[in-house]
Structure 1
């Protein structure tokens, strides 16, 4: 495994991140997520292949994902050899302060995540979504305090408008506070709107980019169709239908299948290799609920795409509405 720096920081991560949203039973993804016994082989396989980067969020499985990740790290790895990334701001209860990015929410959220993870620090603590009700100065100062306390080593962000991210970085810079070192945007063959501003901005600012949904929640793995799909997740992932399934998305999917067949590889491997090959991409976050999916993702790291294949894959794309920021 060839490890890479996350942005301009000194943090070294594997060029593939194992996303843990599907590990741990809870109301959020209960129809398709895996329990502890089912999840165990994914962590052993990932660690065995050199993956040291694991991404979760407090809201995944209402905390169950964090709890499983923490347990597996304690039992299977040296804590200081892995990079744990988690996120905050999504609703974790019915109370008015159980969501968002206020100082009160951040201080309670980080302690809850540390308890579930069973660790005394989080490597990368990420703002899951922009909080329109809290001044960013309040959010940024609280995050800086977590870094100074040693509860968090680095801070990052996810899915927001570029102007918001630029504003956030400017506020952090102006006050001498810990700055975001990473951005986690939605990016894949059927959703490329981040190419307009966010990806060039991150390259310019030395920000690491760790895309979520590089396979469009399975749409580009070939298991999503107009009527549903063949896997439990495909049949029960209602959120995916708000992001994908446009007519143009199916045209891109068909082109992917055609190019993959001509190249003698699977659509999943080709789609992930395309994301990894794009300028400024640091480490796509791959979710898996079958071991063969993880193996396919790992094999994509060794795939070099020539310019003709890239051009064929990109040709059908049409502009999309901005999605995934809320």
Structure 2
């Protein structure tokens, strides 16, 4: 039984006493307590794959920042790894895949991932649920198939993801096959997260904005819908960064909540998505301002969403050099309004 179910009710479009609030990347580098745990380990991946420690850093922002939800500490790239394509997390640079998908024969080395392949995240959710004892809901998550595909083909981060986008043009059949494998793996993974106790699910389409609208519908939204339609037990949020052109199409996706990045027009989103809960969308850089500025910008954001079902958040993950006190200011301002 949840003692604080504000975010779940808001996601369902139900009446809430106040706007619930959490932050993407809230469990992480902004907190000294997180850095202390991380410093004892070989790196990021060891933390993701150690359930007790992943649960500990998941709970930290609930205790230290007062957020209304805990998002499980993990990474979207656990899916390709479970499928057989391993990655490294390079300090200051981000993820790197030593081997990439270039041709149809490369798929022979991959498999459909099972929940057993990702048991460390499932266990971390179970431990988190037990430790939280209903204080706040737990959010599970995965990357959208297009975003996962883009890393598996490109081999790491990119400004253009031109290799991944090239494959969509040159070999759509191969692209679909890989996207289908990712989608199937993701559905079983997210279902296992829900079974372990996740109260909500978020799908992150981090590289949505690099695709033209036609390709986004064809190679991303179609697969997001397959996942969202399969998760019927808990509310699903879709956060597609940069996909302002797809907002209206989100009406056709089986998600309860649509996340907005900080460049998206809230008034337009409200008109286009009258029956969806909206999440977001304060500019993460607003938290670099003075305390008065943080408070003023947060109030301005809340006013834009007034009268519409809303979950307060940033328009992207909180940046690692953000002062935790400014984050608290943001959270407390939301709670006070």
TM-score, normalised by the number of residues in structure 2: 0.52
1:16 is aligned to 2:82: no
CA contact (8 A) 2:19 2:312 kept: no
Q: Does the residue aligned with 2:228 lie in a helix, a strand or coil?
A: helix
- Write the distance in 1 (CA, Å) between the matches of 2:127 and 2:191: 14
**RMSD of aligned residue pairs (Cα, Å):** 4.7
- Write the distance in 1 (CA, Å) between the matches of 2:323 and 2:62: 12
Aligned to 2:61: 42
How many Å apart are 1:82 and its aligned residue? 0.7
Q: Does the residue aligned with 1:180 lie in a helix, a strand or coil?
A: coil
* Cα distance, 1:50–1:208 mapped onto 2, change above 3 Å: same
1:283 is aligned to 2:316: no
Greater per-residue helix proportion: 2
- Write the distance in 1 (CA, Å) between the matches of 2:149 and 2:20: 30
Q: Which moved more, 1:94-103 or 1:291-300?
A: 94-103
- Write the distance in 2 (CA, Å) between the matches of 1:199 and 1:53: 26
- Write the distance in 2 (CA, Å) between the matches of 1:59 and 1:194: 27
Aligned to 2:6: 3
- Write the distance in 1 (CA, Å) between the matches of 2:332 and 2:220: 43
Aligned to 1:73: 128
- Write the distance in 2 (CA, Å) between the matches of 1:86 and 1:165: 20
1:165 is aligned to 2:263: no
Aligned to 2:333: 300
Aligned to 2:272: 201
Q: How does 1:105-184 map to 2 (within 5 A)?
A: 105-112=182-189, 119=196, 121=198, 123-129=200-206, 130=208, 132=216, 134=219, 136-147=221-232, 150=233, 153-159=234-240, 161-170=243-252, 172=253, 179-184=254-259
Q: Does the residue aligned with 2:265 lie in a helix, a strand or coil?
A: helix
Q: 1:221 aligns with which of 287, 311, 330?
A: 287
Q: Deviation per CA, 1:158-196: give whole Å up to 9, x if none.
A: 2354552323423x5xxxxxx221111113xxx4x4136
Paired residues, what number?
Answer: 236
Gaps of 5+ in 2: 29-33, 48-52, 78-88, 90-94, 96-117, 156-163, 165-174, 209-214
* Cα distance, 1:52–1:126 mapped onto 2, change above 3 Å: same
